[in-house]
Amino acid sequence: MRFSRTMPGAPLIAELYRQHAQGLFSVAMTVLHDSSLAEDAVHDAVSRLLDDRRIDGDPVAYLYASVRNAARDLGRRRSVRRADSISEGLFDPSLSTEGWNEPSSDLRRTLAEAVDALPPEQQEVLVMRAVGRLGFEQIATAIGVPLGTVASRYSRGVGALRQQLQEVVR
């Protein structure tokens, strides 16, 4: 799905939001670490897109970039404390997909702590890939870095998670 001029209306934007709500929220959480601020950032980005409706390129990457930018703007405007764990974004039960087995609370907590320990740029790429299900090219477009940088951040993040989780299992 690519658009170079004007998107054909709110129904498509609403559908993109429905498909990517959890991933968008997770991206905002990696920036803000506050669930209510993350919700505000997603709402602001989607509202602006509904008003503007102009997207150049991949609409999914554009939507993620818009949420990321809205979260950064909101974070700059407010003094953000790290009050909530990123696990809210990764495993929000209200956004879970039917048929998925929910991980135990211990596993959720362990994974959330491992993800929280990663550098923010690795968290961002892992969340976009794992939760948002974006491809590396879409992530590169969304965060404005070269494809190789995305692959490197993903690889380092997965390696660090693997190491942290192996230490827990031992």
CATH code of the domain containing 109: 1.10.10.10
Among 30-44, 78-92, 119-133, 153-167, where is mean pLDDT lowest? 78-92
Give the pTM.
Answer: 0.70
Question: What would the mean pLDDT of 19-40 be, rounded to a whole number?
Answer: 93
In a domain, 3, yes or no: no
Residue 136 DSSP SS3: helix
Q: Output DSSP code: residue 57.
A: B
pLDDT, mean over the chain: 81
In a domain, 1, yes or no: no
Give the position of tokens 């998670």: 161
Of 90, 76, 73, the C-alpha closest to 35 is 90
In a domain, 4, yes or no: no
Confidence of residue 53 (pLDDT cuts 50, 70, 90): low
In a domain, 5, yes or no: no
DSSP symbols for 138-166: HHHHHHT--HHHHHHHHHHHHHHHHHHHH
Q: Which residues contact 92 (CB under 8 A, 6 or more apart)?
A: 22, 25
User: What is the token pair recorded at 168?
Assistant: 């827990």
Question: What would the mean pLDDT of 43-65 be, rounded to a whole number?
Answer: 84
Q: Is the pLDDT of residue 29 over 50?
A: yes
What is the count of structural domains for the chain?
A: 1
CA dihedral 108, 103, 150, 89 (to 10 degrees): -60
Q: Output DSSP code: residue 93.
A: G
Sign of CA dihedral 60, 61, 64, 70: negative
In a domain, 15, yes or no: yes
What is residue 90's predicted lDDT score, i.e. its pLDDT?
54
Q: Is the pLDDT of residue 102 over 60?
A: no
What is residue 50's predicted lDDT score, i.e. its pLDDT?
83
In a domain, 100, yes or no: yes
In a domain, 137, yes or no: yes
Q: Which residue range(s) make up the domain with 59?
A: 10-169
Cα distance between residue 169 and residue 4, in whole Å: 48
In a domain, 66, yes or no: yes
